[in-house]
Amino acid sequence: MEKLVIKGGKTLGGEIRISGAKNSALPIMAATLLCDEPVVIHNLPHLHDITTMNELLRCLGVELVINEKLAVEVHGGTINNFIAPYELVKTMRASILVLGPMLAKNGKARVSFPGGCAIGSRPVDLHIKGLEALGADVIVEEGYIEATCKTRLKGAHVFFDTVTVGGTENLMMAATLAQGQTVIENAAREPEVVDLANFLNAMGADVQGAGSNTMTINGVERLHGCEYTVMPDRIETGTYLVAVAATGGKVKLKDTRADILEAVLLKLQEAGAEIESGDNWISLDMKGKRPKPVDITTSPYPGFPTDMQAQFTALNTIADGTSKVVETVFENRLIQTHEMNRMGANISVSGNTALVKGIESLNGAPVMASDLRASASLVIAGLMAGGETVIDRIYHIDRGYEQVEEKLRLLGADIERVQSR
C-alpha cells in the first residue's frame, strides 16, 4: 500500500492546471449509453473512478477508444450485457448512474448496490422511486436492483423528498427517452447536474431548467453522437486554493471557473485571502498572513459544499481565533478531526458540529485517511505542519485528485509517494 510523506512548513506558490470534474465526467460517461452513435468526451480526469467507469462500460459490451488527443470515444450502441456486477460497482457509488440510461434505452438493467466512500447513508431509494414513477418495474433482491419496462418509459411529475444529485441525474437521463414530459421538483442544482444537462442537450435531448430546483425534460425518440468537454473540477480548485492559503502563499489556477465556486471564494476572502479571477482562471494571494477563522455550514448547492468542509476545517486549525463547522449533508464527515487532533489541533466534536480553536501551528504525525475529502484535508494539514507527516490509505485521494503530489510539487511542496514496507 502507498503512503504520502510530507515535510511541511513551506509557503506554496506558482501556477497549475485544474483537471476535469470527476462528478461531472462519471454521469456523462453513463449517459453515453443512451445513444447508438459514437460520442467523444474531452477533459476526462485520469482518476481511479474514471478507470472503473471505463471498465464498467466495457463489461456492458461498450467499445471505448482513447484518441490521439487523450479524449475518449464511446460507442454506446455496442452494449450487449445489462448487468453491472458487484465487483465493479462496490468501489464506486457512481456506478448506479448506468441504471437510468440502460433502462430507458434497452428496457432492462440489473445493477448491484453501490459502494464508494463510507460517509453515512446515501440511500438509493430515491433513484428507484423516480424510475418507478416513469413506469419501470423495480425489484431489489440479492444485493441487486433489477429494473424493467415492457414498453417505453412515460413522462411523469416527480418530487424528491430530499435533494439528491445522483437521483436527479439518473431520472434526468432516463426521462430524455421517455414518452412525453417529465418534471422533476426539488431537483439538485449542482454545476455538475447542469453540465450533464448540457451534454444531454448536445446529443439532442430537450432538458430545461437545469440549475434551478424544477427541471423539465421533454422526451425524444432518439439521441445522436456529439463531442463534449467536461467542466473543470470545482472541488479540486477549492482544495488547492485552501492548501495555498493555509501556507500563506500565492497561486494562479488555470482552466477553471469562479462562477461554480462562489460560496468557497467568499469564505476564502473572509479568511483574509485576496481573490482575483478571469474567464478561465482564479488567483489567490494570502500575503503571508495567518488565516482568520471562518464559520462553515454545509448545504446543497449553491450553499457551501460538503466536499470542501474538511479542507476548511484544516485551515481553521491554524486560524487566529475560534470557528464553528456544521456538517448538515453527510453524517460521519467530521471523522478526520480525530486525525488532525493527533497533529496538535484543538477540535471538539458534538454531533454534526466541530468547534475549532485555532493554534499557531500543527506538528507532523502519522495519520490515516478515511475518505476522499478527509484525505485532502490531511494533506493540507501536513503541508502547514512543522516536521514530517505520513498519510496512510491514500487510495482514497487517488479517487478524486489527479497527480496530487505532482501538482503540489509544482507549487513548491516537499511531498512524495512511497511504498509501505
Annotated catalytic residues are: 117
Report d(CA 272, CA 348) in Å as an integer: 24
Phi, psi of 35 (to 5 degrees): -125, 140
Q: What cell does 52 get?
A: 472503473
Cell, residue 231: 467542466
Q: Which helix (H) or strand (E) holds 396?
A: helix 395-398
| Coil, helix or strand at residue 376 | helix
- Cis bond upstream, residue 302 (ω within 30): yes
Tell me the helices (H) and strands (E) count for the chain, helix number first. Answer: 14, 24
- SS3 category, 29: helix
In sequence order, the 6+-apart residues with CB closer than 8 A to the CB of 175 are 104, 134, 153, 155, 182, 184, 217, 219
Three-class SS state of 360:
coil
List own/partner pairs for 309-313 with CB under 8 A and 24 or more apart: 309/333, 309/373, 310/336, 310/373, 310/374, 310/376, 310/377, 311/238, 311/239, 311/242, 311/243, 311/373, 311/376, 311/377, 311/380, 312/242, 312/267, 313/337, 313/340, 313/347, 313/354, 313/356, 313/377
User: Which residue is associated with the grid cell 440489473?
Assistant: 110
Question: Nine-digit cell at 23?
Answer: 462528478
CB 314 within 8 A of CB 242: yes
